[in-house]
Chain A
Amino acid sequence: MSPLSSTYMRYIGRKLIPYIITVFVAITANFFIPRLIPGDPITVMLSRMSLSGASTADGAEIVEAYKKQFGLDGSWLTQYKNYILNLFQGDLGPSIMAFPMTVHEILMTAIPWTIGLLVVATVISWVLGNLLGVLIGWRRESKTNSVILYLSLCLNQVPYYFIALILVFFLAYTLPIFPTTGAYSVIGTQYEGLRLVVDIVYHATLPALSIIISFIGYWIITMRSLIITTLGEDYILLAEAKGLKRSVILSKYAFRNALLPQTAALGMQLGFVLNGSILLEIIFNYPGIGALLFLAIGNVDYNLMQGILLLTVLSVLSANLILEMVYPLIDPRISHGGD
């Protein structure tokens, strides 16, 4: 089916409806969950202000004024209604803890760091993992193969934050090769052009390495078993009978088939990128979404939390949706309908 055919359109339609429903459920959940957290933003803000010396003499009035400003007056129902209305206008509201910045602005400063670091690291680990997996799976018996396999199995079980801690200890502390924290050096904000890029990459190396090392095992293992299964197929036997070169059999006949499920898996993984890097960003003091969420919880910043949760849910759903729309186009078994 070509992208314009009616079958494809119907296929998309069938897939979209559940997504729309899920998004709606997610949006609603996003509203309620932050409000379950004990404490409320105004109190937190006021206590912070009094710590820095401001007086809170006209207590009640100030609280009312702030409540109005942040839309926290009125019943939850009213707040919910406003929330939805604003959402559809693309307005995520002001951030309570970082007022006068809006949630949107704050997110925009954090998203590029998370995406840049994690997408790049995930793709690198996918590419390297696939290559190694093919190498191991292609020739079954060998000492090196077993070593790599067992190493991958063990590595797969070590959470990325442990690897991060170990890396920090050995490569940033014991041997001060890399910096321990930050996305860029303190004076880095003055850098420009190439120097800035180098500085950013330098700071991103350890976090990226943590991700790469901790996930490469998974790709190696899955690609290996995919290649082994694929190599057992009949069409590989016939390819050998045809006298094709080993390199052609490996690339055009085996790899191409094994790559399909791996690409789907990569798509899924990328969808979760905006999700689970909280610990990584905390360990490395990286200004991404994860660290932001942690701050938001600490400050009970409803709007910011809502915004981040919404963002993560949407990114997973979108990645899913994109994957389901794109995959039929690359797998000829689906894009060209069967007999």
Chain B
Amino acid sequence: MLNVAVSGRDVFDAFKGTLNFVFRRNARLSAGFTIIFCLLLIAVLAPVIAPYDASTVGLHLLDRPPSFEHLLGTDTLGRDVFDQLIHGLRQSLIIGIFTGLAGLLVGTTVGIISGYKGGWVDDLLKSVTDVFLVIPTIPLLVVLSAFVRYMTVPYMVVILAIFAWPFPARTFRSLVLSYRKREYINMAKLSGLSDMKIVFKEVLPNMLPYVSTTLANTISAAIMAAVFLELLGLGPQNTITLGTMVYWAMERAALIRGLLWWVFPPMIVIVLIFIGLQLINIGLDEVFNPRLRRGVTA
């Protein structure tokens, strides 16, 4: 359908162009990307850079504050906190990214079909989307998670994805609706292009900026929901994530016992992820919507 002949040179240029775009255009965009990139790097390299084995209990002395051997100290179960942190980061990011991608994929497909086709297809899909949007997600998330006897990362992604797709669906439906009214869609239709071709050639390219912002939002919301569930004790039971770290810390009254190195680092990393994603969003917004750039009135 898309006739694209690509050479190695083109790919390299595209890569350079993207880097340029990301790091030169906008301060907030580069800041956000830097944060997220560093976090991703750490997460990907986690198995390599982790000094010890994070999951084995009782490997080290208990409740030790940070030192040279244990950068962030140890917890009450004798595990190295730094270890847990980077593995936890890895798992949390996995949950977030997979949920985000799933939600985005399903959501945009539903939204685009709904907005483009119109008629009864639209009515049906829109009603379904609306029902999901109105239903209170948090209590349902809690109930659904309690339903799963043994929670693992894949299960978590599935459950979260159920609630992740409606928002992109609604966003893209309105986008498609607003574009459908524009002239060039009608011109394309008149010129005889098939529906699919129209969607890919005319509609999608205009929506790319929205895709990235929506993805960032969905990932952010997914991690937020995941942490929420984990704090309630409904997180994955066999893996360490950032949220489960905090949960176990609280279960052992770490805050009261002054084991701050166990409680605060995962919290800080979680907030960093959110800030990074948010900065990317704001940066993208400013790039594509010049009126918001500081100091210039419309």
A–B touch (CB < 8 A): the answer is: yes
| Chain A residues close to B by CB (< 8 Å) | 18, 21-22, 25-26, 29, 33-34, 36-38, 140-141, 153-154, 156-159, 161-162, 165, 168-169, 173, 225, 228-229, 231-232, 272, 274-276, 278-279, 282, 293-294, 297, 305, 308-309, 312-313, 316-317, 320
A275 with B139: CB separation less than 8 A: yes
23 interchain pairs (CB within 8 A)? Answer: A18-B130, A22-B131, A33-B140, A34-B143, A37-B146, A37-B147, A38-B149, A153-B275, A157-B275, A158-B271, A158-B274, A165-B250, A165-B263, A165-B267, A169-B255, A173-B255, A232-B297, A278-B138, A294-B142, A309-B136, A309-B139, A312-B136, A313-B135
Helix, strand, loop or mixed for chain B's interface?
helix
Question: What distance in Å separates the Cβ of B4 from its nearest Cβ neighbour in chain A?
Answer: 38
B228 with A153: CB separation less than 8 A: no
* A29–B294 alpha-carbon span in the complex (Å): 48
**A229: which B residues are within 8 A, CB to CB?**
291
Residue of A nearest to B147 (CB): A36
* A34–B140 alpha-carbon span in the complex (Å): 9
- Contact flags B196-223 to A (C-beta < 8 A → 1, else 0): 0000000000000000000000000000
B residues 241-298 touching A (CB-CB < 8 Å): 250, 255-256, 263, 267, 270-271, 274-275, 278, 282, 291-292, 294-295, 297-298
Residue of A nearest to B255 (CB): A169
* A88–B294 alpha-carbon span in the complex (Å): 56
The yes or no answer to B194 lying at the interface (CB within 8 A) is no
B residues 117-133 touching A (CB-CB < 8 Å): 127, 130-131
Instruction: With A317-B134, A320-B134 as known contacts, state yes or no: A159 contacts B228, CB within 8 Å.
Output: yes
The yes or no answer to B232 lying at the interface (CB within 8 A) is yes
Counting chain A CB atoms within 10 Å of each CB, which of B143, B144, B274, B291 scores highest?
A: B143
| Chain B residues close to A by CB (< 8 Å) | 127, 130-131, 134-136, 138-140, 142-144, 146-147, 149, 224, 227-228, 231-232, 250, 255-256, 263, 267, 270-271, 274-275, 278, 282, 291-292, 294-295, 297-298
B142 with A293: CB separation less than 8 A: yes
Extra 6 A-B pairs, beta carbons < 8 Å, given A157-B275, A158-B271: A18-B127, A34-B143, A153-B282, A156-B278, A162-B270, A162-B271
* A47–B99 alpha-carbon span in the complex (Å): 38
Instruction: With A173-B255, A173-B256, A232-B298 as known contacts, state yes or no: A38 contacts B139, CB within 8 Å.
Output: no
